[in-house]
Amino acid sequence: MKNLWTGVRIFTALSLLAGIAYPLLVTGIGLAAFPEQVRGSLVTKNDVVVGSSLLGQKFTGEGYFKSRPSAVDYNGMSSGASNMSPTNETLKKAIAERQAQGLTREMLYASGSGLDPEISPEAAIDQVERIAKERKLTATQTELVSRLVQEYTQPRQWGFMGEPRVNVLKLNLALDQKL
């Protein structure tokens, strides 16, 4: 009987420690050290949440920068790639359709997660003329769009990791604000 009560006490103590104290401690440290990230890096417009800077989303309206294609239709619950081989006819057809739309570079292929929030600066610049045409922009306004791409380009992380990138959501919000 003594062993039973010892086991119950250890179980209760570890449950409280691992199930309550540790999660509260880690959450508190996260809130103190990374307040924006711990809340999901939410992006707001007019005090309304419009997305997260960490998750790609579909932009269907004309005159906006497009995100990379998503094999999961930007559904965060089923994040993943199509897993189609380069010889797959469905993949070849999808790539041909994207090329016919004038897409280039990484915009032809879905990302591994299907939720990439960023594209390369080159892929963004490739879309400037389409945006200018769809929004009926003047040459000066088109130049402003190109400058926005450069302004919102983030460098390699810590100077050596990854590639320069542009957050599509933030760029589209800036586009609406400036034009």
pLDDT per residue as tens digits for the range 105-146: 788 888 888 888 999 999 999 999 999 999 999 999 999 999
Q: Are residue 50 and residue 110 in the same domain, yes or no?
A: yes
Q: Are residue 93 and residue 171 in the same domain, yes or no?
A: yes
Using CA atoms, how far residue 94 sits from 14, 58, 103, 116, 127, in Å, is: 53, 17, 11, 18, 19
pLDDT at res. 26: 94
Find the domain containing 121 and state its range: 41-178
Q: Are residue 15 and residue 78 in the same domain, yes or no?
A: no
Q: Are residue 74 and residue 8 in the same domain, yes or no?
A: no
Q: Are residue 76 and residue 112 in the same domain, yes or no?
A: yes
**CB contact at 8 A, 154 and 167:** yes
Q: Are residue 46 and residue 126 in the same domain, yes or no?
A: yes
**CB contact at 8 A, 165 and 144:** no
pTM, 2 dp: 0.80
CA dist 152 and 121 (Å) reads 9
pLDDT at res. 80: 77
Residues of the chain with pLDDT under 70: none
> Residue 116 is encoded by which pair of tokens?
């990439």
CA dist 99 and 101 (Å) reads 5
pLDDT at res. 21: 96
Q: Are residue 89 and residue 72 in the same domain, yes or no?
A: yes
Q: Are residue 46 and residue 27 in the same domain, yes or no?
A: no
Structurally, the chain folds into a number of domains equal to 2
pLDDT at res. 65: 94
Q: Are residue 80 and residue 148 in the same domain, yes or no?
A: yes
pLDDT at res. 37: 86
Q: Are residue 87 and residue 7 in the same domain, yes or no?
A: no
